[in-house]
Amino acid sequence: MKPSMLPLFHEIFDFVKPKTICEIGTHDGKSAVQFIDYCVTINPKLKYYGYDVFDAVANDEAFHQREINGKGAGNYRRAKRSLLHRQAKYKQFEFKLYKGFTQDTLKETNYDFVYIDGGHSYETVKYDYSKVKDSKVIVFDDYQTEGVKQFFDELVMKENLQQLDFKDSFSNKSRCWAFLPHQSTKHIQPVIFNH
């Protein structure tokens, strides 16, 4: 994740004080490390759960095209090495990586913070969300892609979710959503707050 985007995530982390983080689309672990390095200062016993197909589909161009995966396949060994380094550095930190399709690996669970950035097809985003929907804060990456936008817009309409300004979302007492106010329109990220 670009460093310029991190301060908004830090605001979310300061608000939710996560004990558990779920990232769907761990890839090489770069965002994971950025999240972990900040969140262990809030909660040294932080637990990170990362999901990705990793190298299982490295040469499957049709899959990457269908899922609008511009970065290509993630690297399991690189991600695990980065997380093991964090575990050695932060003695109470724990993590678990799940390799494979989320339809096979992701079970219904609630987390304090979820970052959905795996497959970007409508079906995949819908499935992934269905398994983490009751988590405290859920950020969707790449809203500008067709599948993510279609699913999120339908969700907002179906559940009659109120849109608020990002700053107002923290003090709101009911379920709501907001766009993260990034400078760049290349990364449009809606976030759901389950108050």
**Could you say which residues of the chain have pLDDT below 70?**
56-60, 62-72, 184-185
Average predicted confidence (pLDDT) for the chain:
92
What pLDDT is attached to residue 70? 64
- 143 within 8 A of 190, measured Cβ to Cβ: yes
Strand-pairing partners, residue 141, are: none
What pLDDT is attached to residue 155? 98
- 122 within 8 A of 143, measured Cβ to Cβ: no
What pLDDT is attached to residue 49? 98
What pLDDT is attached to residue 71? 66
Domain over 3-193 is classified CATH 3.40.50.150: yes
CA dihedral in degrees (65, 71, 76, 82; nearest 10)? -160
The domain segmentation of the chain, as residue ranges, is: 3-193
Spatial CA neighbour of 97 closest among 15, 171, 193, 29: 29
